[in-house]
Structure 1
Amino acid sequence: MIAPPLSPHFSKLVLLAMVILVSACTSKPQPSNPPTLTKANIYINQLAFDVQAPKQAVVALPIGETASRFIVYQDSNMIYQGKLTSQQSFTEWGQGAHYYLADFSQVKRRGEFHIVVNTPKQQLASSTFAIKHNAYFALTAKSLVNYFKASRHTNPRDESIRMNGTERYVNVSGGWVDAGGDQGKHLSQQTESNFLVPQQGAVAAWAMAKSYDSLNRLYDRKALTLELAEEVIWGADYLHRILDSEGYFYTSIFDQRGFAEERLITGYQGAEGDYNTNFQAAFREGGGMAIAALVRAHELSNKTGVQGEFSAKQYLTDAERAFAHLQKNNLRYLDNGKENIIDDYTALIAATELYRITKKSKYLKAARHRAHNLNTRITSQGWFISDDDERPFYHGTEAGLIVIALVDYLAIERNRQIKAKTKRTIKLSLDYQLTLNSQVANPFNLARQTFKSYKDDQYSKQQEGFFIPHASEANYAWQGESSRLASLTAAAIWGGKITHSDKDGAFGINDELAYFAQSQIDWIMGKNPYQVSMLYGFGVNNPPHAKSAGTMLNGGISNGITGATSSLNGRGITWAEGPDENNRRWVEQWLQNSTWYLLAMTAMTE
């Protein structure tokens, strides 16, 4: 959850601590909770691989200790031997280790397996993992649906909540809580950052409906269709309630993580979480995704017969009314009064969904306008420009959503010239991501990104790195990047099927992109320097509990690993370093983490 600190007093302490940390920062910041690299380890996805998917482990050996081969065992039976591939020297996250890759993609037998590496000094054995068809859906889909249901907000107090700045009370009941430690409900947060605004709340309903559209037979076979549809409708009913009579959605129902005197329909900003009356959701502030979610809910309700308090027809009526309103009023609701790339891709998704269902030409026209904007924002190198200047697009939550928006748009576009331009944009973006990943030593194949840090109203020179900078327009609000990684997996697969297709390749895409897509999920599932599986209830080592992170649920995914706390540019690495009140940056289960994993799982299963 991206949110203010726990209380005003605590906020001041955190800000003071950050000042101290920043002043102590050096050009090569040292992580405050470095991984243990001087001990030999096999880093591997602790859950599973699909039969046809790329399969790799990272083997780290102390400098001076060597190995040349690895063995894959099923129980005590040796089923595969392979050569370890030595990697370039990699020291960004610490000294003392040399890395090797163990690639066992040729293993397509189903079952439970582990890897063994023998060195002159010791024998290493990995954790056990599964290989099976539709592995992630088969193993995790039910837990994901249960996670969303367990995350419902059901407190009846939300049936009458005051709108900040007025004496008007509104029924805003329903929806899902934002995170394990936050009972707030948000379409978006950090709106004052303008360029790092995340899609929340509504994107979960959209993602679940989108997943069903792709995998309906599997949901039917697993007897999960009813439960999934009920969650989508639960979300759609909430969106109807928070759609104001004027035509805008409320961004937040918030009580400062329980520390405020009153729970309000409100906007807020800053490290103190100061309330304001800017609670009208622009396209980039959740409005676009709320429209898209309502259209998907309309479609799903008609397909399954599942109905909530409001009808499928009402959802579509709401979506069309809200879209018309934002087409006229979006600039009024933006913190800086200027649209940027996030408005473009969220409005594109909304317009695409509306045209897909209604076939009204005005929505195709709107979609073409937004797609044109995105096609002109891509540079010749392959990175996107966020604004009307030179700020590169990067995002800690939804870095892959631009490509996904363009992929969905291609399904409704018939103009060959426009389609060609859009495909070029997707290809440039995916190629650039692969280039970024190969420019430096990167044994884990972790997705890198291009950014400019931001401090004292000044941008730095353009940089590349593994983690988002801590000095950004969002300032105090940085956290682990599980969502970002999962979003890039979904984008790589869906986009790759259009621009990097290989009918015989894993996920239907070429090998390099398939390995990239798999590697981001591997990282989430434990193939990371801390050997932590962020998906709670799965894998060998799960995140620790933290009071500040609140409830931990099976199927929930922790925020994840970040750059070192002391690094303004996100260099180095750290994880759950403490104290407890700060651990929610890494440990807390945020609704979007499971949402983006759901979409990645869907893409990997199709």
Structure 2
Amino acid sequence: MDQFKKELIRSGFIHKPLPLNRMNSFEKNQKEKECIVFSRPIINEYHAWIHEGRGRIETTEKSVTLISSTRYSSWAEGAPEDGDYVNFGEVCAYLPLQNEDWTDFTQLKLDISAICKNVINPNVILTVENDGVIKIPDVYNREGTHVINLEGQEKQTYVLDISNLPRDAVKGIRIFSGANGSYMNLPGEMNYTVENLVVEKNEQRSSAKGWRAPKKEIVFSHIGYGTNYSKTAILNADEFSEGTFQLINAETNQVVFEGKIIQVATENGVFGLLDFSEWKKEGSYYLRVAESKTEVFKIGPSAKLKESSIWKSLNFIFCERCGCPIHGIHGTCHEDIIVSYKESLVSFNGGWHDAGDLSQQLIQTAEVTSSLFEVAEEQKTDELLYLRLLEEGEWGLDFILKTRLDNGDRVTSAGITRWTDNRIGTMDDATPRIHNSPYDNFLITGIVAKIIRSLPATYAMRPQLLQIVKEDYQNALAGYKKTGYTHEPVFWEHTYSTSKSLFLATMSWTAALMYQLTQEDIYKNQMKDWFDALLLCQESEGILLLNGTNIKGMFYRDETHKVFQHFNHQAREHLYAQAFEEVLTVSENEDWQKRANDYADYLEFLAEFTDPYPMYASGIYKEDEWTDEESFNKQHLLVGDEAKESYQKQLQLGIKIAEGFYIKRFPVWFSFRGNNAILLSMGKSAGIMGRLTENIHLMDIADQQLQWIVGKNPFGQSMIYGEGYNYAQQYSVSSGEITGEMPVGIQTFGEEDEPYWPQFNNATYKEVWVGVAGKWLSVVAELLKFEHRGD
């Protein structure tokens, strides 16, 4: 029995968290490879720490200690009176510096020890402030901050790579930690000592920006390669300009395949490509070029390659449960997140915490629930995994039902970033929001209808669920007839940016599912009307490109065709593909099939622009989209007037494909950055359209989005903690590192259109997000469906 199976058994098959495996972590590799040229202490007689915020600090010549309670009976100065999206404040030590030039230094190093009591996830947060050519923190307060989740309380050395951080005039360092509540509301105290703070030059700096692969390393898919899909790896062409590579059986150490390194030139640079697609024999292998070699990976069917990632994703989702004690992380939580409704009180704990903070979103939980049931449906031959996925899915389904009120009203979200005391009526209670959103109601109805379709006929709650979706559909329809395509103007809701075309796609998809469940023509007729309206929002004539080709099939936000549909954080591109799938299941239509083919062609077209990497480009943009005030403000949150000028700069750094049209590899974005949800949603679309059109290339593209997340990116890093190799600490500030956690995704620096992935792990790009884990499972489900067709 292998080690992972033993860990699964000890966890009770994910009823306790899986243990953390730090042996393959980025931080371990970082320490082992470092080559320090020189080092300089930061603290000296000219520097004095300044206390800010809660608690107190104690200092010596070489150290500073932060001491604070974990909770207070008031909110911190400047916090909103209702406590929305805040903790109880922070204890902070600030070290002013004299605009020091650290350009020659590449890393910070510090020792941290702790004597904490009842603290959930002891952590220390560090911000570097730069007042040079580029200001840090940036205008969105994202850049330059890093959370160190402590690996135990004994003194340990932590390293932070600053080689890609602007540091020509460092004016200060801020070290702090949040008063975030305590375990089971027991009296708690934070006590952190930071000492031996130094700045160093390390010759073995890591790559953090651009498309070039790390020096002397082969970039490959840590999660392996599908038997019948393409198999490539990438390296720097100037380091291996010519020669051969070898594919080696990891069990026998015998060379099984040898190929020539192909030099490829793309918009993103010149690369060496290792192509071993013709090798299809299942097994464990590694690649070798001269003295460089990869870690071991597998070749095989998706069912085998993705099994461990399904368990680890499930582990992450389970550990984010709200209202349920999680062994070693937290006790029962958030029982005091309640709201008044019609002279009654409604509790909002349940489902899963949204992200690295503890906020709660109904739509997020509903979409994760859908993904759990989707992948469960494809795992019926593995009864243990199937039943465990159903169990976790039922936890989410329960939350969908408990937040359902009268006549389409739902409890929708709550801004929680603290562990509350679970006592209703005290100052730390959070009040969730209630909305009656036709869009949310259609989306949730569709999700539950799809779940019903996947359940066995003997499933205990099937009749009740069918009754609920019929009622919810009517409530959604009544709301739509009253308000049309508008919805609640609260930007914290996850569906805030919904366009008319996405609204139509969702309604068409839901109506098609309802028809399949009931065979009632009213649903079919509504489906046809809405789907025809949706197709008015699709590009059908085509745009003539500079290379003479014509591209069509993509969707606009509405039928005016002024603004293309984009996603820059929340991502639901897959709903267009799901609408095609379910509508064509209900009603064969030659024109609809043609439009589906056009959309599939567009998805293939978008996959070319990040070659040789597998990441989906974010889409096609018009240069004047920023002038559409309504859509711009819906798509981009927490921005000021600078955003419109920045939009134009970002577009110019994309790829011009026609007069007035650009391809952006990464989205145009501002405060909210990170594209894992986006590329996984697009990968889901590719998987659905690949199945519909029997297009193996689209299935391959879907699979490659997973490869990008697990290692086949310019940094050679896995973005799933505990899966693959070289995975780094993420922004999991409330619950700590979790096996299977996934972040929002790789970002860009400023207006650039190339990947940027510093060790700094601030929100949003490195914030863990259950929505990404759900989308990962959903893409895996598509690959398994394709693999299982005809079974």
Normalising by the smaller structure, the TM-score range is 0.7 to 0.9
Cα 1:105–1:64, aligned 2, differ >3 Å: closer, same or farther? Answer: closer
Amino acid at match of 1:537: G
Q: Distance in 2 between matches of 1:317 and 1:159?
A: 29
> Equivalences for 1:537-552 in 2 at 5 Å?
537-546=722-731, 548=733, 550-552=735-737
Query: Alpha-carbon deviation of 1:554?
Result: 2.2
> Equivalences for 1:148-547 in 2 at 5 Å?
148-154=317-323, 161-163=337-339, 168-179=344-355, 181-188=356-363, 200-213=364-377, 215=378, 218-256=379-417, 261-266=428-433, 279-280=434-435, 282-284=437-439, 286-300=440-454, 302-303=456-457, 305=459, 307=460, 311-330=461-480, 331=483, 333-335=487-489, 340-379=500-539, 380=542, 381-382=551-552, 383-387=554-558, 388-396=560-568, 397-398=570-571, 400-416=573-589, 420-438=590-608, 440=609, 442-448=611-617, 449-451=619-621, 452=625, 454=632, 456=641, 460=648, 462-471=661-670, 476=671, 478-499=672-693, 501=694, 509-511=695-697, 513-546=698-731
- SS at structure 2 position matched to 1:412: helix
Q: Match of 2:73?
A: none
Question: Which whole-Å deviations, capped at 9, do the CAs of 1:422-455 have from their partners, x for residues lacking one?
Answer: 32232222322332343x5622132112235557
- SS at structure 2 position matched to 1:108: coil
TM-score by length of 1: 0.78
Query: Alpha-carbon deviation of 1:415?
Result: 4.3
Equivalent residue in structure 2 for 1:591, among 763, 770, 773: 770
Q: Match of 1:575?
A: 757
- SS at structure 2 position matched to 1:228: helix
Query: Alpha-carbon deviation of 1:551?
Result: 3.2
Q: Does 1:135 align with 2:304?
A: yes
TM-score by length of 2: 0.61
Amino acid at match of 1:493: G
Question: Which whole-Å deviations, capped at 9, do the CAs of 1:325-348 have from their partners, x for residues lacking one?
Answer: 121213363439996122122223
Amino acid at match of 2:224: A
Q: Match of 1:27?
A: none
- SS at structure 1 position matched to 2:218: strand
Q: Distance in 1 between matches of 2:757 and 2:85?
A: 18
More strand per residue = 2
Cα 1:561–1:263, aligned 2, differ >3 Å: closer, same or farther? Answer: same
Equivalent residue in structure 1 for 2:218, among 39, 42, 52: 42
Q: Match of 1:196?
A: none
Q: Match of 1:273?
A: none
Contact 1:299 1:312 in 2 (8 A): no
Query: Alpha-carbon deviation of 1:465?
Result: 1.3
Query: Alpha-carbon deviation of 1:202?
Result: 0.6
Cα 1:524–1:208, aligned 2, differ >3 Å: closer, same or farther? Answer: same
Query: Alpha-carbon deviation of 1:528?
Result: 0.4
Root-mean-square deviation (Å): 3.4
Q: Match of 2:545?
A: none
Higher RCO (C-alpha 8 Å, min separation 6): 1
- SS at structure 2 position matched to 1:82: strand
Query: Alpha-carbon deviation of 1:60?
Result: 1.7
Aligned residues: 529
Query: Alpha-carbon deviation of 1:157?
Result: 6.2
Cα 1:553–1:85, aligned 2, differ >3 Å: closer, same or farther? Answer: same
Cα 1:386–1:128, aligned 2, differ >3 Å: closer, same or farther? Answer: same
Contact 1:49 1:135 in 2 (8 A): no
Q: Distance in 1 between matches of 2:346 and 2:556?
A: 39
Query: Alpha-carbon deviation of 1:534?
Result: 1.4
Contact 1:100 1:443 in 2 (8 A): no
For structure 1, list consecutive stretches of 5 or more residues without a partner in the other structure: 23-29, 93-97, 189-199, 267-278, 502-508
Q: Distance in 2 between matches of 1:160 and 1:328?
A: 32
> Equivalences for 1:38-117 in 2 at 5 Å?
39-61=215-237, 63=238, 65-75=240-250, 76-91=253-268, 98-117=270-289
Larger Rg computed on CA atoms: 2
Cα 1:258–1:341, aligned 2, differ >3 Å: closer, same or farther? Answer: farther
Contact 1:205 1:235 in 2 (8 A): yes
- Sequence identity of aligned pairs in percent? 17
Cα 1:138–1:255, aligned 2, differ >3 Å: closer, same or farther? Answer: closer
Query: Alpha-carbon deviation of 1:593?
Result: 0.7
Contact 1:255 1:264 in 2 (8 A): no
For structure 2, list consecutive stretches of 5 or more residues without a partner in the other structure: 1-83, 91-126, 130-134, 143-163, 167-207, 325-331, 421-426, 491-495, 543-550, 627-631, 633-639, 649-659, 786-791
Query: Which stretch shows the higher mean deviation, 163-172 or 102-111?
Result: 163-172
Q: Distance in 1 between matches of 2:733 and 2:758?
A: 12
Question: Which whole-Å deviations, capped at 9, do the CAs of 1:552-577 have from their partners, x for residues lacking one?
Answer: 3223322221121x22xx52321145
- SS at structure 2 position matched to 1:424: helix
Query: Which stretch shows the higher mean deviation, 460-469 or 152-161?
Result: 152-161
Cα 1:64–1:184, aligned 2, differ >3 Å: closer, same or farther? Answer: closer
